[in-house]
Structures are given as structure tokens and as C-alpha cells.
Amino acid sequence: MVAVVLTVVVVAVSGLSRKYGLQAPIALVVVGLVLALVPGFPVIVLEPELVLIGVLPPLLYVAALETSVPAFRLNLRPILLLAVGLVLFTAVAVGLVVHALLPSVPLAICLAFGAVVAPPDAVAATAVARRIGLPRRLVTILEGESLLNDATALVLFRVAVAVALGLAVGPVAIGQQVLVAAGGGIAVGALGAVTAAFLHRRTTDPLLDNSISLLTPFAVTVVAESIHASAVVAVVVAGLYLGHRMPTLMSAASRLQMGAFWRMVTFMLEGLVFLLVGLNLREVLAALDTPVAQVVGLTIAVLATVVATRFAWMYPATFLVRLLPRVRRRGTGLDFPGATVLAWAGMRGVVTLATALALPATLAGGETYPRALFVWLAFAVIVGTLVLQGMTLPLVARMLRVQGDDKTADILAEAQTQQHASRAARERLEERAGAAPPDVVDKLRSLTELRANTIWERLGGERETPSAAYVRLRREMLEAERDVFRSARDAGRIPEDVLVRAQRDMDLEESMLERME
């Protein structure tokens, strides 16, 4: 029953957000906060294992599938500077600030908390960035950062917690753990990707392809966790490899069905994730027993440090590296507005809360510390960054005049590529036509010309292009055909399965018409 209620809330809030131009992630968090204070509303207990093993892998996997490998490789330097360097910098800075304000708490657990709040969310930043239309390169950097920063944070978290629990952790042991986490994650991800690719190539049933795709992130996660490797790295490696090779691994029907399936899964998981963040307010407040003045002071200090460290890292990482001759020759650095927008896009999410809930209850020798306070601080950082930065990111982008990519240039590049593709298609047609009926060959030639002309027409200024007229009229014709088939089914002249088959063919054609608009 609770799952049904939460699903209804996610769908309703997301639908209203789209209708009124709101940011759905932020709206869901706010609604969750309100519902958490409603008497009688079900108490939601967020389990860290559920998030880190059940929710994070599929979300990371889908993000990796949709990430351009060439763009990822081109922006690897800024991605690594953020996903590794900035996470470590933020974790140390937050740890030192918390330790200075709470000197009775061991530094190790303060650094573990720093690792908790260091990585921006894998969903929030890119969801908002795409919604407001940031340039493609900035979105790629944010996506790449969010794909890898959790791995850095979780490794640091494990090391710091081990020290806090009194386990012997020296430089050699830390190096081994990092090597196993990163190297093992890459190995497991590569093995999972090769295995999944092998299965996809030998599967023609879209349902089986979807099942393999759904199982892949969970399978590599389980294997990586069993050998203490980074499940995050494993899932990202598998997703990047399979996404890059997807056009040659699956049939068209499998790709279409899988795309629709993952869009639905991502929509529901992302919505539930943000809603759960807000719903945990009641549990977090119930466990808090620290004086209000101290809580407020620590909250402001931690939130300010989290925001400031991103700026303190972003500008040197953007401009000082240009002193290196190789970087200066490439000339691909960010400008000031782009760096500022990236610095402001540091929203935290559910992984931060889940990791905070995984903090140990006691330390070495049974020593206690204000764990509930640390959980609250993590919660406050999530809500503060989501609401403060998420709501103002569009305004910051407008003030800095950061605009999306030139759509005209995109259309021109697509049109030129389509022209080459159409030429290749016509050449293949002439080679393979053989004894095919002339009218069939002529129809295929016309279809190829229509596809090429449709894209060029987007650059024109006609009120209604020939392709637009074709789409409008063909839709009317398809609707007339549907009416006839439905009437025949209702009158008993055709069985239901005939209607379903005809309806599917018409739906597929109409989906192609949408692409021509």
C-alpha cells in the first residue's frame, strides 16, 4: 500500500512539475518534507543497502549507457579533476571543519563524514542541467563527474571508517584497497560488459534483451561487492562499453523496447529517490538530541564549506592547468561562466543520506559520538544544495549568459551526415535491387530522399514544409484507418488479435512520423 501511495505521489508531482515548468527533483524533495510532517503518514526507513545496491546501480548504468564515450574521453581531464580531486579536497576540508567544531569527535570519523557529503548526486545535477538546456559539454562533464565521484567517496569512506574502528590501516593497506577498488571494478565491469555483449548478440527476442539489460548492473554489482571492488566503477565501465556498442549488439526492436523500458524505470527510481530524501525528515529529527544552537551553527558551517570548496577547486582546476603547455595547445578549457555554472551545480542526493546512515554506531573501544547529528548534517546538505542551488541554477546560467548549443549548427551537422548516409543507402539499394519490382525500388528511393530533405527543411522558414504537411496528412490517414479497424472489431468482423497487430503497425509508423517533426 505504501509503495502505491509513493508511486502516485511521484507521478502526480512530476506531472504537475512538467505542466508548470518546475524542477521535478526539487518539487519532490519539498513534497517529501511536507508529507514527513503530516501526522499518520507512513514512516519511511531508508536502508543504505537498498540505495547502494538496489537503486544506485541501475541509475548509474542508464546514465553510462547514454553517455557519449568520445565526449567522455575528450573531457576526461576535467571529469577526473572533479570526480577524484574535488571529492578528496571537499572531504578533507569538511572533515577538518567538523573536527575543529567538534574536537571531541575523532578526526577519522570526521573525514568519513566528509566523504559522505563530498560527491554531488548522480541524478540531481544532470537532471536540472538538461532541464534548463546547458551546453552539451557542461552536461557531459557533470555526467562524467557523477558517474565516478561516488567510487572515490566510498573508498575514502571505507578507509576512514576502518581507522575510526581501530583497524590497522597504513599507506600500503590504503594503496591496496584503492587498487582493488579501482582495478577490480574495471576488471569486473569489463568482464560483465563482454558477457552481456555476448548474450545480446545471440538474442533476437526483445524481452530477453531487456531482461539481460536489467540484470547487468545488478550482476556486476554483486560480483564487485563480493571481491571488495568498486561496484560503481564496475557498473560505469559496463554501461559505457555496452552503450557505445549498442547499435551493433541488438535488433532495432530490442533497442526501441529497451529504451522505453529504461526511461520508465529511470523516471520512477529518480522520483522515488528524491521523494524518499524528504520523507526521511521525521526519522532524522526524531533521533537528533543535540542543542539547537549547536545544530544550527554546524549546519551553516558544513553547508558553507561544501559550497565554497567547489568554487575554491573549480577555478584553479580550470585556469591554472592552462599553464601546462599541452593543455594550452589543445585550447579546450572552460571559460569563466562555464566554470561558475559547474561550481554552482553541486547538488547532493540520496547516496549522501544512505552513506550517512551507514556510519558506525560506535567507534574503537566502544566510544560513542553524535551519529544522529552527522546524519542530520548530511540531510541538511542534501536539502540545502538541492533547494538553494537547484532552484537558482537556471538564474545563475541566465545571469552569466550561458546558453545551450547552437541548434542550427546541430541541424546542419545532422543534415550533412544524413546526406552522406542517404547516398550510402542509395548505393546499397542499387547494388542489391536485382530483380526487385521497379515500383518498390522507386518507393525506396523516394523514402531516402524524404529522410534527407526533412532535416534540411528544419533550416528553412516556411510556414509548413513539405515534410510537415506529409506528417500532418499521414496522421489523419492513420486515424481513419484505426477507426475502421476498431469498428470492424466491435462489429465482430475481425478478432481482437487482428486489431492488435494492425494497431501495432500503425503505432510504429506514427512513432516514425514524430521523428520527422
Q: How far apart are CA 24 and CA 13, in angstroms?
A: 7
Q: Which residues in the chain come in under a pLDDT of 50?
A: none
What pLDDT score was predicted for residue 462?
A: 57
What pLDDT score was predicted for residue 459?
A: 66
Q: Which long-range contacts (CB under 8 A, 24 or more apart) does 209-213 make?
A: 209/250, 209/251, 209/254, 209/257, 209/258, 210/254, 210/257, 210/258, 210/261, 213/258, 213/261, 213/262
- Residue pair 123/149 in contact by the 8 Å Cβ criterion: no
- Residue pair 506/482 in contact by the 8 Å Cβ criterion: yes
What pLDDT score was predicted for residue 299?
A: 95
What pLDDT score was predicted for residue 99?
A: 94
What pLDDT score was predicted for residue 174?
A: 74
- Residue pair 500/455 in contact by the 8 Å Cβ criterion: no
What pLDDT score was predicted for residue 403?
A: 78
Q: How far apart are CA 231 and CA 223, in angstroms?
A: 8
> In terms of Cα–Cα distance, which of 273, 303, 270 is closest to 376?
303
What pLDDT score was predicted for residue 413?
A: 79
What pLDDT score was predicted for residue 122?
A: 64
Residue 283, phi-psi category: left (phi > 0), alpha (psi -120 to 50), beta (remainder): alpha
Cell of 156: 575514502
Q: Residue 150 — φ and ψ, nearest 5°?
A: -60, -35
Q: How far apart are CA 392 and CA 373, in angstroms?
A: 28
Q: What is the pTM of this model?
A: 0.83
- Residue pair 149/82 in contact by the 8 Å Cβ criterion: yes
Name every residue whose Cβ is closer than 8 Å to that of residue 284 and which is 6 or more positions away in sequence: 372, 375, 376, 379
Indicate the domain borders of the chain. Answer: 2-149+264-405, 407-460, 462-517
Q: How far apart are CA 121 and CA 507, in angstroms?
A: 37
